[in-house]
């Protein structure tokens, strides 16, 4: 949980994504506009592709791991850019 001063007028329950920078860290507000990928999105995509039932879980896990890795690489690139 993150505490934000009341004078910022940010309502409780607002989702944020943390970012690490050279001299500290910051947060980006995350909305429900589906610009980020959820597990529901991944599962729906796997099911739309008619993947055999016995392979659904492993395919879901593979895609979830690939997205997590892509986000990590992107965050690392952002942090490297901040250090320049």
pLDDT tens-digit series, residues 10-48:
777 777 777 777 788 787 777 655 456 778 888 999 999
Residue 30 neighbours by CB under 8 Å, 6+ apart = 15, 16, 17, 36
| pLDDT reported for residue 13 | 74
| % the chain with pLDDT above 70 | 86
| pLDDT reported for residue 4 | 78
Determine how many CB atoms are found less than 10 A away from the CB of residue 42. Answer: 18
User: CA 54 → CA 39, 51, 58, distances in Å?
Assistant: 18, 8, 8
User: CA 69 → CA 36, 65, 73, 75, 76, distances in Å?
Assistant: 14, 6, 6, 10, 10
């Amino acid at each position: 949980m993150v505490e934000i001063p009341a004078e910022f007028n940010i309502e409780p329950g607002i989702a944020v994504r943390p970012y690490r920078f050279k001299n500290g860290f910051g947060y980006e507000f995350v909305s429900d506009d589906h610009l980020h990928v959820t597990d529901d999105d991944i599962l729906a995509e796997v099911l739309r592709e008619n993947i055999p039932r016995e392979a659904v879980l492993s395919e879901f896990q593979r895609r979830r791991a690939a997205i997590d890795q892509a986000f990590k690489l992107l965050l690392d690139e952002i942090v490297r850019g901040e250090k320049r």
